[in-house]
C-alpha cells in the first residue's frame, strides 16, 4: 500500500541526505520521496521527507528558515571548511576569549554576502564545485546574498566554541565558521553541526532510521507521519463539506468567503486528510492548484 505524507528523520552522522532517502525508499516501499534541504555527511539532525503525493508541497519550502547548533574549532582552517577536510596550514594555538568571539560573531548577523565553500554543490559552468575541488582545479565561486537571523555563542573551552544560529535558506554554516576564523586571525572550521529545525519541523518530530524501520516492520509506519494539520502553519485551513469536495475533485473553483484575504488555503476532508492547496483567483474564489487526492 502506497504511503503519502511527511516524515522527519534524525539524520545520522556519516550519511548523505541522498543515502537517507535511498534507505527510506527501501524501508517504506515507496519510490517517491524527496527531502527539504541537504545536510552534509558530518551533520546530524532534522531532515524532513515528503512522501508520495506530498512531494508536490516542495515548492512551499524553498525559502524555509533553518536552525542549527554546533561547535567551531579555532587554530586552523580546512579545505572543506569543516572537520572532514584537510588542514590548509599548520595548527596554531588559538587564544580566543568569550568576549572576542562574541564580538566577531555579531558582525555575521543580518543580510550578508557569503562565498560558498569550494567543496559544495554550487555549479561552475554546469559542474558542481566539489567535483572541480576534488581534482584540485581552480574553484572561484561568486559571493551570494544570504541572511543570518541569529548567531550566538553558547560557550568557549580551549580552542572550541559552541554556537546556535538561525539562517535563511541557502546559507552555509561552514562558511560562517571559516569566515569567523579569518576575522579572528587564527583560522577555524566547523567541528560539529546538528540541525534542530527546518520550517515547522523540529527535533521533537524526528525519528531515527532504526525507529522507522521498526515501525514499518510492525505495520505502524503511519504513526510516525507528521500530523498534516501542522504542515504549513502560515496557511489557513478549512474543512470541506461534500459540495466543496465534489468541486475540488473536478478541478473547479470553490468559494471560500472567510479567506478572501489569503493567497493560499489548505483544504481538509475531515480532521487530518489534506486534499489540496487552493490558490486565490479573485475575491473569495479559489482554484484547487495542488491536489493531493488519490
Active site residues: 40
Helix (H) or strand (E) holding 66: strand 66-74
Q: Is 7 helix (H, G, I), strand (E, B) or coil?
A: strand
Distance (Å, whole) CA 202 – CA 181 = 29
- Residue pair 114/172 in contact by the 8 Å Cβ criterion: yes
Q: Which of 108, 201, 197 is nearest to 152 (CA)?
A: 108
Q: Cell 561552514 appears where?
A: 174
The grid coordinates listed for 50 are: 515528503
Q: Which of 198, 277, 231, 209 is nearest to 6 (CA)?
A: 231
Amino acid at each position: 500500500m502506497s504511503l503519502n505524507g511527511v516524515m522527519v528523520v534524525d539524520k545520522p552522522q556519516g550519511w548523505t541526505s541522498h543515502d537517507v532517502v535511498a534507505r527510506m525508499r527501501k524501508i517504506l516501499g515507496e519510490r517517491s520521496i524527496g527531502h527539504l534541504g541537504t545536510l552534509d555527511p558530518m551533520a546530524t539532525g532534522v531532515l524532513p521527507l515528503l512522501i508520495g503525493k506530498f512531494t508536490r508541497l516542495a515548492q512551499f519550502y524553498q525559502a524555509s528558515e533553518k536552525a542549527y547548533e554546533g561547535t567551531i574549532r579555532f587554530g586552523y582552517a580546512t579545505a572543506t571548511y569543516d572537520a572532514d577536510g584537510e588542514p590548509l596550514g599548520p595548527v596554531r594555538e588559538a587564544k580566543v576569549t568569550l568576549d572576542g568571539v562574541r564580538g566577531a560573531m555579531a558582525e555575521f548577523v543580518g543580510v550578508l554576502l557569503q562565498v560558498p565553500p569550494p567543496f559544495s554543490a554550487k555549479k561552475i559552468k554546469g559542474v558542481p564545485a566539489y567535483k572541480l575541488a576534488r581534482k584540485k582545479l581552480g574553484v572561484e565561486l561568486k559571493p551570494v546574498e544570504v541572511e543570518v537571523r541569529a548567531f550566538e555563542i553558547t560557550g568557549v573551552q580551549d580552542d572550541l566554541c559552541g554556537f546556535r544560529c538561525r539562517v535563511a535558506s541557502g546559507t552555509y554554516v561552514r562558511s560562517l565558521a571559516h569566515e569567523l576564523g579569518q576575522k579572528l586571525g587564527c583560522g577555524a572550521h566547523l567541528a560539529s553541526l546538528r540541525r534542530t529545525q527546518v520550517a515547522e519541523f523540529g527535533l521533537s518530530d524526528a525519528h531515527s532510521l532504526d525507529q522507522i524501520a521498526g515501525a514499518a516492520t510492525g505495520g505502524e509506519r503511519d504513526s510516525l507521519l507528521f500530523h498534516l494539520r501542522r504542515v504549513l502553519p502560515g496557511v489557513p485551513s478549512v474543512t470541506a463539506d461534500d459540495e466543496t469536495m465534489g468541486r475540488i475533485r473536478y478541478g473547479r473553483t470553490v468559494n471560500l468567503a472567510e479567506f478572501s484575504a489569503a493567497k493560499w488555503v489548505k483544504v481538509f476532508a475531515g480532521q487530518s486528510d489534506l486534499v489540496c492547496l487552493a490558490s486565490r483567483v479573485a475575491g473569495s474564489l479559489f482554484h484547487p492548484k495542488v491536489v493531493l487526492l488519490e
